[in-house]
Amino acid sequence: MVRITKVHTGGGDGGETSLVDGTRVEKNNSRIEIVGLCDELNATVGMVLMEINRLVSTHSDGGQRITVRRVQDVCNSALGRIQSELFDLGAELACPLESIPEYMELLDGNDSDRLCEEMDTWNEELSPLESFILPAGSGPIANLHLVRTVTRRLERAMVGMKSELRPLTLQYVNRLSDWIFVMTRWVSYRLGEEETLWIPKGKRSKGTVEMTKRQSKNH
């Protein structure tokens, strides 16, 4: 177990920090950058959980809103697990590949495969996509879209140093982004929200201009 008794040490005052093996590096080192992105991703997952748990889960008469409770239960369990897995990933990313300690418990194929299994289960409830989805919606949905984009940003940064990482870490992050996308669709479906679909330019009307003109005439 981790035991932290003091946070401020002054060791980073000069812009350096330590990797897990004790190596001192600049705080803009590429490995520190991906560790920071992993931390940022974890924080955005926490924002989703906050929004999910803000949903009203009871009716005015005190009865439970079963669908909302289902979404909260699934998201709290699944996203809570993801937050712990991201801490596991962050610890590994903070180690040079050749210096990963034997005691460190690493993400493995089971963690990666579980993401696919969960995606397949949620996807069974969803209709096929007929267009790309715009990143919009209520608090939980919009924040899930943000989580997906931060996951992809972490993946891009990891690709830049993939020769220094275990291949499974890249596989996990790639699948995690897909997992977040499918979860976003599933939560949207379960909460009864319509997805905002992209309409290509050639098929879009001049709706905003025409609406403004009509409103001006009415006034």
pLDDT along the chain (219 residues), means of 10: 61 66 77 94 97 81 74 96 97 91 92 98 92 91 97 97 96 98 96 88 67 51
pLDDT value of residue 131:
87
Cα 207 from Cα 110, distance rounded (Å): 49
Write the CATH number for 105: 1.20.1200.10
Cα 157 from Cα 169, distance rounded (Å): 12
In a domain, 2, yes or no: no
In a domain, 188, yes or no: yes
In a domain, 11, yes or no: no
CA angle 40, 46, 47 (to 5 degrees): 95
Q: Number of C-alpha atoms within 13 angstroms, CB side, residue 219? A: 6
In a domain, 26, yes or no: yes
Nearest to 37 by CA among 80, 94, 78, 79: 94
Question: What is the DSSP secondary structure assignment for residue 58, as one 8-state letter?
Answer: B
pLDDT value of residue 211:
47
In a domain, 21, yes or no: yes
Token readout for 116 is 């696919």
In a domain, 8, yes or no: no
pLDDT value of residue 165:
96
Across-strand partners of 133? 197
* Single-letter amino acid code for the residue at 120: D
pLDDT value of residue 212:
47
In a domain, 32, yes or no: yes
Question: DSSP E strands: which ranges in 66-159?
Answer: none
**Domain range for 49:** 16-218
Cα 24 from Cα 20, distance rounded (Å): 10
Q: Total structural domains in the chain?
A: 1
In a domain, 4, yes or no: no
